[in-house]
Structures are given as structure tokens and as C-alpha cells.
């Protein structure tokens, strides 16, 4: 297949991902602008908002309509919404979804959200309805990430970044999408027909890298991060950004390197598939490379966590080996 001749808008599943992410991005912005951003706390103390539930309900319903019977593994579930403390949030989710679907009820919304309670199998979708919820609450970057995994391989993925400004007309908002072996593309939510292929930057020298990291210090190891930056002689100060928007930045050539080091407080942390799958394919199909800290490929065949991988190194590919070498010297051994 000649990549240059391939039109992503000719492929039914790819179009589904782009259309769905456009609708979800708009819903998330309405929730954010409508000040529906009060957060509830999940069991692990991480925040969850009306937008997380509304986006999962929307995408759960759309997948059910377009691909009945296909499995969805989403980050959220409707449990708290069914309790007394969740009833106000449920009311807000119902009112948001009611604008999209006339048959919206409390019960249906919970059903659509719980459509995402599937378990990984030979072929399934995975969804992070609001990746970077803390960024969403700060009104910084966040992403909606949807990927389709077949036999442990990410075959299709898209990331909506409603607050990411890539310049040009019409304000912020970018939708990235990639299909295995076919390429990676970006468009604006209101201009899908102007979708265009994207490519990583061609900078070779690690010292010239623009580096991305999480905003949350608990999601990386700041001391080790500083040491790696110094050893690579990187000149530009790192950019802190929430969510898989970071993978969009790498894929479009606006950054060269991303490091997710293991926080000393949670060395045993293993990434969730919905936090990496869509970002990984968008980056790889744009010519980039993504591995764990030891250079191992991310293994999406292990259930909902990347049990066989520790941390993440993502790059424009050209400087990947040099970075892995420095990590090895720093004592990241397996
Ligand atoms: P980021 O915006 O890059 O900080 O990534 C946000 C994601 O980090 C969230 O969706 C969480 O699932 C994930 N996360 C939660 N705890 C940790 C941790 N200890 N280390 C790395 N990532 C984490
Ligand atoms: Mg997430």
C-alpha cells in the first residue's frame, strides 16, 4: 500500500474514530465551559468529573450503535453515579447527553458508561474519556484517547486535544488519528475534510531536543529526569504538559523526546493501556518510536496494564538509542 495514496477518510473505522472524537471533544468543552468541573474522588484518590462520565457514556453508546457486540475497555464506570453522593453528577451527565440523544435517561446513561466495563480480549476498544483530568481541572491540556487493539497490537487510535493550539485559523483543538501501516494524520474538529498527514521532527542531536514531561511530579522522577537532561546536554528547558497531547506534539514535530520515569514513591507503577495505546500508534505511524525505559516495545497483550513494561521513552526515533544508552548508564537495568 502506497501511504501517499491512502486516504484515511475512505476507511470506515478511521472515520468513526475521527467523528466520535470530534463529538466527544465538543461535549468535554461544554462541560468545562459550563463549570461542570467539580471533581469527585475515585478509590485511588484521583479526580473524576462530569466530563469523564459524559464522554465515556457518549463513546460507549456510539460504539454500541456502530459495532454492536464489540468490547470496550474504558477507564470509568457508573458505580459512584448510582450512589447518593453521585446523584448531582449523574443529573449533569444526563442533561449533557440529552442534547445528543433524545432517549437519554439515568438508567441509559449508566448503561452506556458501563458499556466500557469490558475486559481485554482478542479484539477490543480502549478509552480514556478524559486523559489528564488534573489538566482539565486546571484548564490546561487534556485528551480523549480511543484505540482499537487486535491480538495485542494497536491497529487504530485517535487522540482529541480540545485545548491544543497548533496555530492557524479557528483557535485551539486538534484531532490526531493513525492506522497501523498507513500513517498518522491531524485535523481540526470542524474541518475534518482538511485532514493532513503528519511527521516527526528530523532533529538528530539529542542536545537539541525539545523534551516533554508530565505536569504532575508524582507521575515521573524529577531527580532522575534532571540527570538525564544534563547528560544528554539538552539546552531547552523541558515543557510540562498533561495527557497524551504530548504524543500529538511529538508526532507533529513540535517536540522530540518524552520521558515517563518511575516515581520513587511508586516504583511498581505500571501504565494503563488507555493511557498509552492511542498515543503510541499516533507517534509510531508518524515515524516516531516508543519503548519502555529498557528499550522494550510496549506490550498491549497483558490485560489492562502494561505489566511487562516499566516507564516510557518516546521520541522522534532518531535520538532514541542515545537516550536509552544514557538511561542504562544511569542504572536503569533489567
Ligand atoms: P500525565 O498527564 O502525563 O501526567 O498522565 C496522566 C495519567 O497518568 C493518568 O491518566 C494516570 O492514569 C497516570 N498515572 C497515575 N499515577 C501515575 C504514576 N504514579 N506514574 C505515572 N503515571 C500515573
Ligand atoms: Mg489517563
Annotated catalytic residue: which of 20, 52, 80, 275?
Answer: 52
* 291 is annotated as an active-site residue: no
**Which residue, judged by its Cα, is nearest atom 4 of ligand 1?**
214
Round to whole Å and give the CA distance between 298 and 260: 13
Distance 264 CA to ligand 1 centre (A): 14
Phi and psi, residue 5, nearest 5°: -90, -10
Q: Which three cell numbers stand for residue 132?
A: 489528564
Index of the ligand 1 atom closest to the CA of residue 242: 2
The tens digit of pLDDT for each residue in 268-280 reads 999 999 999 999 9
Distance 100 CA to ligand 1 centre (A): 30
Ligand 1 site: residues with CB under 6 angstroms? Answer: 131-132, 214, 216, 218-219, 242-243, 263, 266, 269, 272, 275
Ligand at minimal distance from the CA of 215 is: 1
Round to whole Å and give the CA distance between 199 and 184: 8
pLDDT for 42: 75
Contact call for residues 277 and 156 (beta carbons, < 8 A): no
Q: Which residues 6+ apart lie within 8 Å of 86 measured at CB?
A: 40, 80
Contact call for residues 59 and 114 (beta carbons, < 8 A): no
Q: Which residues 6+ apart lie within 8 Å of 259 measured at CB?
A: 211, 213, 220, 225, 228, 311, 312, 313, 323
User: Mutation test of ligand 1: which of 45, 275, 298 has the most ligand atoms closer than 8 Å to its C-beta?
Assistant: 275
Ligand at minimal distance from the CA of 219 is: 1
Dihedral (Cα; 289, 295, 300, 305), 10-degree rounding: -120
pLDDT for 333: 58
Q: Which three cell numbers stand for residue 118?
A: 469490558
- Which of 227-241 are b and which e, b meaning 16 or more Cβ less than 10 Å from the residue's Cβ? bbbebbebeeebebb
Look up cell 508518524; give the residue: 286
Helix, strand, coil percent values for the chain (each to nearest 5): 35, 20, 40
Q: Please state the length of the chain.
A: 334
> 50-66 and 87-98 are packed helices; what angle lies between their axes, rounded to 10 degrees?
50
Contact call for residues 92 and 77 (beta carbons, < 8 A): no
pLDDT for 239: 98
Q: What percent of the chain clears pLDDT 70, i.e. is strictly above it? A: 97
The tens digit of pLDDT for each residue in 54-63 reads 999 999 999 9
Q: What residues flank ion ligand 2 with Cβ within 5 A?
A: 128, 131, 275
Among 165, 147, 143, residue whose Cα is nearest residue 155:
147
Contact call for residues 206 and 27 (beta carbons, < 8 A): no
Annotated catalytic residue: which of 20, 133, 220, 291?
Answer: 133
The whole-angstrom distance between residue 244's C-alpha and the CA centroid of its chain comes to 4
**Which residue, judged by its Cα, is nearest atom 10 of ligand 1?**
131
**Which residue, judged by its Cα, is nearest atom 6 of ligand 1?**
132
The tens digit of pLDDT for each residue in 135-176 reads 999 999 999 999 999 999 999 999 999 999 998 877 899 999
User: Residue 119, CB half-sphere, CA atoms under 13 Å: how many?
Assistant: 2
* 242 is annotated as an active-site residue: no
Round to whole Å and give the CA distance between 18 and 8: 10
Tens of each residue's pLDDT in the chain, 334 residues:
567 789 999 999 999 999 999 999 999 999 998 766 566 777 777 878 999 999 999 999 999 999 999 999 999 999 999 999 999 999 999 999 999 999 999 999 999 999 999 999 999 999 999 999 999 999 999 999 999 999 999 999 999 999 999 988 778 999 999 999 999 999 999 899 999 999 999 999 999 999 999 999 999 999 999 999 999 999 999 999 999 999 999 999 999 999 999 998 889 999 999 999 999 999 999 999 999 999 999 999 999 999 999 999 999 999 999 999 999 998 765 5
Amino acid at each position: 500500500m502506497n501511504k501517499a495514496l491512502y486516504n484515511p477518510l475512505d476507511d470506515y473505522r478511521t472515520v468513526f474514530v475521527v467523528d466520535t472524537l470530534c463529538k466527544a471533544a465538543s461535549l468535554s468543552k461544554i462541560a468545562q465551559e459550563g463549570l461542570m468541573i467539580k471533581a469527585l474522588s475515585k478509590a485511588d484518590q484521583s479526580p473524576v468529573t462530569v466530563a469523564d462520565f459524559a464522554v465515556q457514556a457518549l463513546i460507549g453508546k456510539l460504539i454500541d450503535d456502530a459495532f454492536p457486540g464489540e468490547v470496550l475497555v474504558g477507564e470509568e464506570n457508573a458505580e459512584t453515579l448510582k450512589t447518593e453522593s453521585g446523584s448531582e453528577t449523574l443529573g449533569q451527565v444526563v442533561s449533557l447527553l440529552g442534547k445528543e440523544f433524545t432517549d437519554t435517561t439515568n438508567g441509559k446513561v449508566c448503561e452506556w458508561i458501563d458499556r466500557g466495563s469490558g475486559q481485554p480480549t482478542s479484539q477490543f476498544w480502549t478509552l480514556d474519556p478524559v486523559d489528564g483530568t488534573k489538566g482539565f481541572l486546571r484548564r490546561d491540556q487534556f485528551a480523549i484517547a480511543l484505540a482499537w487493539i487486535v491480538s495485542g497490537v494497536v491497529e487504530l487510535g485517535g487522540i482529541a486535544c480540545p485545548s491544543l493550539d497548533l496555530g492557524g485559523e479557528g483557535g485551539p483543538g486538534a484531532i490526531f488519528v493513525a492506522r497501523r501501516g498507513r500513517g498518522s494524520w491531524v485535523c481540526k474538529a470542524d474541518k475534518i475534510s482538511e485532514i493532513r498527514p503528519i511527521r516527526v521532527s528530523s532533529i538528530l542531536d539529542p542536545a537539541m531536543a525539545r523534551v516533554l514531561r508530565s505536569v504532575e511530579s508524582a507521575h515521573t522522577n524529577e531527580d532522575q529526569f534532571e540527570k538525564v537532561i544534563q547528560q544528554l546536554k539538552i539546552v531547552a528547558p523541558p515543557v510540562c504538559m498533561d495527557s497524551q497531547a504530548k504524543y500529538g506534539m511529538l508526532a507533529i514535530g513540535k517536540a522530540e523526546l518524552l520521558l515517563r520515569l518511575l516515581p520513587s514513591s511508586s516504583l511498581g507503577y505500571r501504565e494503563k493501556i488507555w493511557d498509552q495505546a492511542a498515543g503510541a500508534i499516533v507517534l509510531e505511524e508518524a515515524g516516531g518510536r516508543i519503548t519502555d525505559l529498557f528499550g522494550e516495545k510496549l506490550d498491549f497483550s497483558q490485560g489492562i496494564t502494561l505489566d511487562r513494561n516499566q516507564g516510557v521513552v518516546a521520541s522522534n526515533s532518531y535520538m532514541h538509542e542515545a537516550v536509552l544508552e544514557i538511561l542504562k548508564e544511569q542504572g536503569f537495568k533489567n
